[in-house]
Amino acid sequence: AQSVTQLGSHVSVSEGALVLLRCNYSSSVPPYLFWYVQYPNQGLQLLLKYTSAATLVKGINGFEAEFKKSETSFHLTKPSAHMSDAAEYFCAVSDRGSSNTGKLIFGQGTTLQVKP
Amino acid sequence: SQTIHQWPATLVQPVGSPLSLECTVEGTSNPNLYWYRQAAGRGLQLLFYSVGIGQISSEVPQNLSASRPQDRQFILSSKKLLLSDSGFYLCAWSGQGYQPQHFGDGTRLSIL
C-alpha cells in the first residue's frame, strides 16, 4: 500500500530563512503528489501538484517542490519565510488504482512556525 | 469557477443529539465528494467518499453516516452524537482521474 511520511511534525524557522518541509512517499509506480496548506480553523488549500511533467513544481505563495524519484521524495521549499507562512502543511499522494475515486493518502502534517 | 460550501462553520451539540452537516459544490458536475475528520493536533481521517448520486463508501466503522441525494450535495449525519465525534469536519471534492481535492472551510463540532 502507498504511504506518505512527513519528517518532522514541527519545524521552526526565522523570518527570511529558508523553509524546507520534508515528504517521502512509497509507491511502486510514479505517483501524483500534492502539497496543501492549512491555516487555523480553515480548510486545506492546494499549494502545488506534481503530475509527471516537470520535476520542479512551482506553486502559490513562492513555494516550490522537487520530485526526486531516486529518493522517493517531494520536499517543499521556500527561499525566504514570511510570518504569514506559519500554518500546517500536508503532503499527499494519489492512491494508485483510485483514478475513479480520487482518493488521496495524506501525511500527518508539519506545523511551520516562523519566528520574527 | 468551482466553489464548495460547507455549513455551519461551528456547531455545539449535546451528547445523544442528532447531526446533519451539509456540503454543496458549484460549477462542476459529477464530482467525487469526500468527508474528513480532523481531531485536535492530528492528521486527516477520511470518513466517507462518493463517486456518484447514492454511492457512498465508508472508510472506517463509526457512529456517522453519509448521503448524496443530489449530484453536488453531500451530507454527513448521525442519529446520536458521542463525545468522540468532536472534531473539525472537512468536505472536499475532486474531478475525475488523478486530480487534487479541493476543500471547504470546515465545521468545528463540539460535543458537550
The pLDDT tens digits of the residues spanning A11-33 come to 999 999 999 999 999 876 778 89
Q: Which of B43, B99, B104 sits opposite A102 (nearest CB)?
A: B99
> Concatenated DSSP letters for B74-107?
EEEEESS--GGG-EEEEEEEE-SSS---EE---E
Residue A102 banded pLDDT, cuts 50, 70, 90: confident
Query: What does the pLDDT read at residue A43?
Result: 95
Q: Which of A34, A36, A101 sits opposite B49 (nearest CB)?
A: A101
Query: What does the pLDDT read at residue A114?
Result: 98
The pLDDT tens digits of the residues spanning A57-80 come to 999 999 999 999 899 999 999 999
Q: How far is CA A100 from CA A27, A32, A103, in A?
A: 18, 14, 9
Q: B-side interface with A, Cβ within 8 Å?
A: 6, 32, 34, 42-44, 46, 49, 51, 57, 88, 90, 92, 94-106, 108
- Residue A50 DSSP SS3: strand
Q: What percent of chain B has pLDDT over 70?
A: 100
- The verdict on A109 touching B (C-beta cutoff 8 Å) is yes
Give CA–CA dist A110/A24, Å, rounded: 13
- The verdict on A43 touching B (C-beta cutoff 8 Å) is yes
Whether A100 and B106 lie within 8 Å, measured CB to CB: no
Whether B92 and A49 lie within 8 Å, measured CB to CB: no
pLDDT (mean) for B74-93:
96
- The verdict on A33 touching B (C-beta cutoff 8 Å) is no
The pLDDT tens digits of the residues spanning B54-80 come to 999 998 878 899 999 999 999 999 999
DSSP state of A61: G
